[in-house]
Structure 1
Amino acid sequence: MTRLDQFLAFSADVTAFTVFQLRGTGQAEAYLGAVTDVVGEELVGDLLDRHQALGTGELDDLLRREIFSDERLGPIARNIVKLWFVGTWYELPAAWRERFGPLDGDVTFTVSAMAYTEGLLWPAIGANPPGAKGPGYGSWSGPPLIPEIA
């Protein structure tokens, strides 16, 4: 399994979108590259290897216990979720930087020009990004349709 495949598998588990949907954003490589540039190959590898090693059981509980509660990996994992939904990497918390040291590229930034329009926020709420992906004439006349959650 490639690092991109691992990243997509992790991302699918934490966003509730399928790997197919994530690939469809066209941002998978850019997001993995951005995360790797900020935190480094070692931390990305640790996070994705930890995810891959999760056993069988209730996935939400395993993710919470093994990844999101981890003081080193949890903030990175949460940033990856935010990255997929809004296309922005947010600077890691001050407490993380104090404990593990500052990272040169750890600043808040938008990953790519397409990250805003391809954010998972929009399909999650059943809307189109303002100023992009016009939904068509007259679509504004009704409220957004929120899709059923499977």
Structure 2
Amino acid sequence: MGTGYANRYFETIERIVGRDLLHRLLQTFTALPPGPADEALKAAILNHPEFGPIARNITKLWYTATWFQLPSTWRENFGALPEDRTFVPYPYAYAESLLGPAVGAHPAGAKPTGHQSWTLPPVYLPIPPECE
């Protein structure tokens, strides 16, 4: 919701994969056990041959504002979808994508940092202790 594109992205995904497939994916997600769902999410969705590539594409759509064509193995196993191709569904969404804030930067070419900002040293985000 923070990007302002939630409804548009939902409509885009539904148009590409179809209402039935998206509904089954969402039902599987809502059926996950409460609490930390890392392993359950991996088992039920991310490692699922049909849902996994779609779920990863949804994540990439949020972060990059780009829908990437589903892998050829997915298309061979489940059929090619007429709307499935690599594209930016909403050109202005790129500037609001989550990639820039996630890496502590601005989206290249979309939100410049300002006059002579290149003269300043980069500001590095702290590394959480669990990642060291």
Q: Describe how 1:1-150 pairs up with structure 2 within 5 A.
A: 23-140=1-118, 141-146=120-125
Q: 1:147 to 1:80 in 2, by over 3 A?
A: farther
Q: Say which SS state the counterpart of residue 108 (structure 1) adopts.
A: coil
Deviation at 1:112, TM superposition (A): 0.4
Q: Say which SS state the counterpart of residue 143 (structure 1) adopts.
A: coil
Greater Cα shift, 128-137 or 64-73: 128-137
Quote the Cα distance in structure 1 between the aligned partners of 2:96 and 2:124.
Answer: 18
1:35-67, CA deviations, whole angstroms, 9 ceiling, x for partnerless residues?
Answer: 111000011111111111101353111110110
Q: Which residue of 2 aligns with 1:3?
A: none
Q: Which has the larger radius of gyration?
A: 2
Quote the Cα distance in structure 1 between the aligned partners of 2:40 and 2:52.
Answer: 13
Q: TM-score, normalised by structure 1?
A: 0.77
Q: Say which SS state the counterpart of residue 89 (structure 1) adopts.
A: coil
Aligned residues: 128
Q: Which runs of 5+ in 2 are unaligned?
A: none
1:118-141, CA deviations, whole angstroms, 9 ceiling, x for partnerless residues?
Answer: 111100110111222233445431
Quote the Cα distance in structure 2 between the aligned partners of 1:134 and 1:54.
Answer: 41
Partner AA of 1:134 in structure 2? P
Partner AA of 2:75 in structure 1? R
